[in-house]
């Protein structure tokens, strides 16, 4: 399954969807509170009861995660960042060494390919470098791989290229 996470409004998104699981901001999302309940109390499920508590499960069923996000100072939009924070239940709380770095052990057998499309006018070279490093770090933390990172000035450039 492909999982699409985006911060676009309905008008911007109308020409991009396909037959995939879509995570979009249809109602408010609560911030991760760092309680580790998704590891201790309800393994693999966030204890915050809103429409986004099953992100770990959605990640576990995905072979590719596609993210469309405004590039904000070299990072994701607040909604996309919140989704990634709320997805920590995808991994175990236990650690192991990978590439001489400590990372969480994987909970599931799937390997996620991470495809990210950043949009925004006048994204600086420094912001692009920071965003690239961030996506690579996210892929490592999810024990996955980076498939592609692309920057566009305008959302219209994404039409027909996402799926």
Query: Tens digits of per-residue pLDDT, 52-109?
Result: 999 999 999 999 999 999 999 999 999 999 999 999 999 999 999 988 999 999 899 9
**pTM summary value:** 0.91
CA distance 60 to 65: 10
CA distance 74 to 144: 21
Residue 39's SS3 state is helix
Name the phi and psi angles at 5, rounded to 5: -115, 125
Q: Using the 8-state DSSP alphabet, how is residue 30 labeled?
A: P
Residue 120 vs residues 15, 24, 30, 134: alpha-carbon distances, Å: 18, 18, 25, 17
Instruction: Tell which residue, 120, 116, 127, 126, has the closest CA to residue 149.
Output: 116
Lowest-confidence segment of 41-50, 63-72, 74-83, 142-151 by average pLDDT: 41-50
């Amino acid at each position: 399954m492909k999982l699409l996470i985006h911060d676009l409004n309905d008008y911007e998104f109308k020409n991009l969807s396909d037959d995939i699981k879509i995570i979009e901001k249809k109602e408010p999302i609560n911030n991760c509170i760092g309680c580790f309940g998704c590891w201790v109390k309800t393994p693999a499920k966030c204890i915050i009861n809103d429409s986004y508590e099953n992100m770990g499960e959605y990640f576990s069923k995905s072979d590719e995660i596609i993210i469309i996000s405004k590039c904000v100072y070299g990072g994701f939009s607040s909604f996309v960042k919140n989704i990634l924070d709320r997805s920590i239940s995808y991994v175990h709380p236990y650690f192991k060494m990978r590439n001489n770095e400590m990372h969480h052990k994987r909970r599931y057998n799937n390997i996620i390919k991470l495809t990210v499309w950043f949009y925004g006018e006048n994204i600086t070279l420094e912001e692009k470098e920071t965003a690239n490093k961030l996506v690579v770090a996210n892929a490592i933390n999810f024990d996955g791989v980076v498939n592609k990172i692309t920057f566009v000035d305008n959302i219209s450039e994404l039409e027909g290229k996402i799926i």
